[in-house]
Structure 1
Amino acid sequence: MRRDASSGPATTPGVQQSLLDSGPSRPRVERQSVIRSFDGITCYEVPARTAIDRIPEATELPYQWAVSPYRGCQAACGYCMARRGHRYLGLDAGHDFASKIVVKTNLADRLRRELASPRWTGDPIALGLTGDCYQPAEETYQLMPRIVRALADAGNPFTLLTKSPLVLRDLDLLREAAKMTQVSATVSVGFVDDRIRRAVEPGAATPQRRLEVCATLNDNGIPCGVLMAPILPLITDSADHLLSTVRRAAEAGAVSVTPVVLRLPSGARECYMGWLEREHPGLVPRYQALYGKGPTADADYRARIADQVRGLAEAYGVGQSARRWRRRRSPARQLALV
């Protein structure tokens, strides 16, 4: 998302809009914003009240703390767990999530203050959970370089989570930060079938491009793993799908592969199930049975998928210094999807 230099952004300077709707059972919280529009995307510029947020254990992600410069995401992933957060802002969890992006313009300054607090223990931080920190809005706002510098100056370890090749823009900065603290990255690749990507991740880079990003980061000294998320029950959980994804992660030099089965909390559930009813109506009853007790799939099913992925990662030598699987990627050869 780039500004039109000739006409400038469509904006209403000085006009403020409350983003938070208290609703019938929530206390009313006022938050003010400046509204700007770029290429059909509306951005709400807001001051960050906090920079470091605790990640709920229910997400089943391997992180405890997060920093997110954006809420909402132009990747428009139909399953995204962060969709529910838009409702708290008085926005819609469906179309608004991908077209109305909340931008925390002062996040780097706020982060520096929190990192310097004696109460902060220096735990690792994940960047980009409520919206990809390298989504197209980052081309305009360029918040990430200052955030990375704040973490590096504090010597605080951090991990980047992204689906975007834009992360390579900051490669030199990440290499400098790695001299001062532990820096890693995780690229989200739940499957390698681009037909499925076009259906459920329409605004995201192709799986092949993401794996190439993973390879480039690893080749430049930034350890990068693959977050195999989400694995879509009855769609991308077959033996062939799992094998292809783990194998391509191994070829990209991924230092780890972490499987996460689709979760369907409120917000994501309505969006994803609406798509499923339109495109795969025969699967709806099976999903209702699998997710009958809440947002997570049946525990036995999740354990089985985790065991399968763990076995494949072992077979292909993911994360091992001496791997059984020899990486076939070369600078002159692009990664194939299958």
Structure 2
Amino acid sequence: MYCFARKTHSYLDLDTGLDFDSQIVVKVNAPELLRRQLGSRRWQGEHIAMGTNVDCYQRAEGRYRLMPGILSALRDHANPFSILTKGTLILRDLDLLVQSTQVTDVGISVSVGFTDPELWRTVEPGTPAPERRLDVVRTLAEHGLGCGVLMAPVIPFLSDQPAQLRSAVRAIAASGATSVTPLVLHLRPGAREWFMAWLAHHHPHLVRRYERLYADGSYAPKWYQRRITRQVHDLAQEYGIGPTRAGMPRRIRPPEAPEPAMSEPTQLTLI
């Protein structure tokens, strides 16, 4: 509902509302294109960040299976990368992730903004429940893969109360997360209209408060962001975890593991 990636659908002449919710564009030859780029003399081995706009482990990945080919290419070229996801499908590629950490820098983060199940059901329909995402963090940690949590979004007046923040940070710490980084909801054009319509339907008493809070643009005021960041960081310190600098991959060296047999991803028709 609040996804800032909605706006990018307009670049393809698609609607940022219903089309975003129902139309998915898939580049089925992405692994081949990536491998070709990584092998180019012009490529300097730059860090590749995945999931920063659209989740690379959304439901469609279960059908198209592009990530195994992408991760294999990155592993084979020892190219550093990071992944941000709100899904659980990343565990399918656990072996490839472990292999990659043996040759390059890998950063993994899971997005968990709050742990309130009722709020999750209304504002994040179609996504795995917060506790399932934290299970991903726990499983990665058990396999020697450090995983941070992007606590995003913190939703003003719905998930920002001290008790709610404490509950979320406590659960994040219990999952074995290496870091927690809060990010307050931002409402860019394309997402703002849909979120405000959702808010008017589910929480009409908050509409005016949001109009005032976001009166100057897409972002909540700096004082509000600083307050949330300070509270979360204090809680993280209390529970034994700490923030890391944005964009810094975490190098993990898990125990040696035998390389499993790899199957080729199936290429399907562009939809």
For the superposition of Structure 1 and Structure 2, which TM-score range results when normalised by the shorter chain? 0.7 to 0.9
- Which residue of structure 1 lines up, in the alignment, with residue 197 of structure 2? 274
Q: Are 1:229 and 2:124 counterparts?
A: no
Higher relative contact order, structure no. (Cα contacts within 8 Å, ≥ 6 residues apart): 2
Q: Are 1:155 and 2:78 counterparts?
A: yes
Determine which structure has the larger helix proportion and give its number: 2
Asked if 2 retains the 8 angstrom alpha-carbon contact of 1:183 and 1:223, the reply is no
TM-score, normalised by the number of residues in structure 2: 0.86
Output the CA distance in 2 between the equivalents of 1:111 and 1:311: 41
Deviation at 1:118, TM superposition (A): 4.6
Output the CA distance in 1 between the equivalents of 2:118 and 2:19: 24
For structure 1, the 5+ residue unaligned runs are 1-77, 321-338
For 1:99-178, what aligned pairs fall within 5 Å after superposition? Answer: 99-178=22-101
For 1:1-338, what aligned pairs fall within 5 Å after superposition? Answer: 78-319=1-242
Asked if 2 retains the 8 angstrom alpha-carbon contact of 1:82 and 1:129, the reply is no
Q: What CA deviation, in whole Å up to 9, does each residue of 1:193-242 have, x standing for no partner?
A: 01111101100000000000110011111111111000001110110111
Identity across aligned pairs (percent)? 53
User: What's the Cα RMSD here?
Assistant: 1.4
Output the CA distance in 2 between the equivalents of 1:204 and 1:283: 24
Deviation at 1:119, TM superposition (A): 4.5
- Which residue of structure 1 lines up, in the alignment, with residue 252 of structure 2? none
Output the CA distance in 2 between the equivalents of 1:92 and 1:234: 29
Task: Give the secondary structure class of the aligned counterpart of 2:149.
Answer: strand
Deviation at 1:120, TM superposition (A): 3.9
Deviation at 1:124, TM superposition (A): 2.5
Determine which structure has the larger strand proportion and give its number: 1
Output the CA distance in 2 between the equivalents of 1:319 and 1:278: 37
Deviation at 1:121, TM superposition (A): 3.9
Output the CA distance in 1 between the equivalents of 2:146 and 2:43: 25
Q: What CA deviation, in whole Å up to 9, does each residue of 1:270-289 have, x standing for no partner?
A: 11111011111111111111
Distance 1:167 1:142, change over 3 A: same
User: What is the one-letter code of the residue matched to 1:159?
Assistant: S
Asked if 1 retains the 8 angstrom alpha-carbon contact of 2:233 and 2:242, the reply is no
Output the CA distance in 1 between the equivalents of 2:214 and 2:61: 35
Task: Give the secondary structure class of the aligned counterpart of 1:135.
Answer: coil
How many residues are treated as equivalent by the alignment? Answer: 243
Q: What CA deviation, in whole Å up to 9, does each residue of 1:14-61 have, x standing for no partner?
A: xxxxxxxxxxxxxxxxxxxxxxxxxxxxxxxxxxxxxxxxxxxxxxxx
Asked if 2 retains the 8 angstrom alpha-carbon contact of 1:126 and 1:158, the reply is yes
